[in-house]
Structures are given as C-alpha cells and as structure tokens.
Amino acid sequence: MPARPILLYPHAFLKESCAPVVASDDEVRTLIRDLIDTMHSGPGSVGVAAPQIGTLLRVCVVDVSKSKLGRDNNHGLLILINPEIIRQEGAAVMREGCMSVPDYTGDVERAVKIALRFLNENGELREIEASGFEAVALQHEIDHLDGLLFLDRITSLKTGLFRRKKYK
C-alpha cells in the first residue's frame, strides 16, 4: 500500500483518544500496512500512529533498528494493537520530533525503561520490555493514541522547544 499523508498539528484528530481495536480484520491489516509504508517514507521516522494518518484506532508501529540511537537495542519492527504501558522506570530528557509537527523538536522527559502489553498483527497478546531510545519511541507513539503530542510534554516551552532544520 502507498504511504498515506501525515496529518499536521493542529489537526483535530491529533488531539483525539483512539478507540480500541475489537477484531483484527481486513481494515486493521490494511491500516498496519499503511502505517509501515508511511513510517518508511518519512525521513528519519521510527514510528507512526493511526491518528497521524486519519484513523482513530489504537494501532501504531515502531522500528528503531535503522536509527543510530536504536540500532543496538531494539525489538525490530513492532506492530502494536491496543498497546498499554504496564510499568515504567527512571526518567531522562531526550530531544523528540514528530512527522505531525515537522517544524519543531522539543526536550521531553520520558521513562528510560518500560514494560508494554499489546496485541501483535496476528491478535496474539505480547509483553515486552524496552529501554533507551526504543522506550522513548514507544511512549511517543502511544501518546498519539491518547491524543497527546510531544508538545504537550515539553519540559519548558521557554527553553525546550526548537525550530527544526529542514529535511533534505
């Protein structure tokens, strides 16, 4: 499937909480393929959530394996349906960006280690632990499913928001 357009802030869908997926059907399988294609089409993208492409369902994808920050500590491509963070440890501030907010990055405090429960693309319940950059990316995408952007979590609007250099 082709990459789908990314909704940009302040689009209303980006502030909506998503509905849980009740059955893995053709609609959900198509959504997953579209999310993966959209993630791969974005420069430097390591994840994308359904509301960013106009679907208010609790589905997102994350893959930090090709990023220099995540290539040594990752689970590869994660397809997450109805994800929920069940444990968090520690905290650190990291610079985040988002395809839905292309002109800015910001300093955001996130847990450095998380445990996560979700359904995979086959409807199987999985639990994983993630740390470092992968944990940050997972928290970022799950926030999208709850109607939150990194802008909502910036450590300081005065000193923690930065104009992004343009992608080439």
Q: Which CATH number do you get for residue 35?
A: 3.90.45.10
Total domains in the chain come to: 1
The reported pLDDT for the residue numbered 1 is 61
Tell me the catalytic residues.
Answer: 141
Flag whether 131 is in a domain: yes
Q: What is the mean pLDDT of each run of 10 residues along the chain (168 residues)?
A: 92 98 94 98 94 98 96 97 98 96 96 98 97 98 98 93 78
What CA–CA distance (Å, rounded) separates 20 from 124?
A: 15
Flag whether 76 is in a domain: yes
Chain length of the chain: 168
Sign of the Cα torsion 58, 59, 63, 67 reads negative
Flag whether 30 is in a domain: yes
The reported pLDDT for the residue numbered 59 is 98
The reported pLDDT for the residue numbered 112 is 98
Nearest to 142 by CA among 159, 134, 41, 76: 134
Q: In Å, what is the CA distance from 19 to each residue of 27, 55, 128?
A: 14, 10, 22
Domain that holds residue 65: 12-163
Flag whether 113 is in a domain: yes
Flag whether 97 is in a domain: yes
pTM, entire model: 0.96
The reported pLDDT for the residue numbered 165 is 77
DSSP letter for each residue of 46-113 = -EEEGGGGT--BSEEEE--TTSTTTTTS--SSEEEEEEEEEEEE--EEEEEEETTEEEEEEEEEE-SE
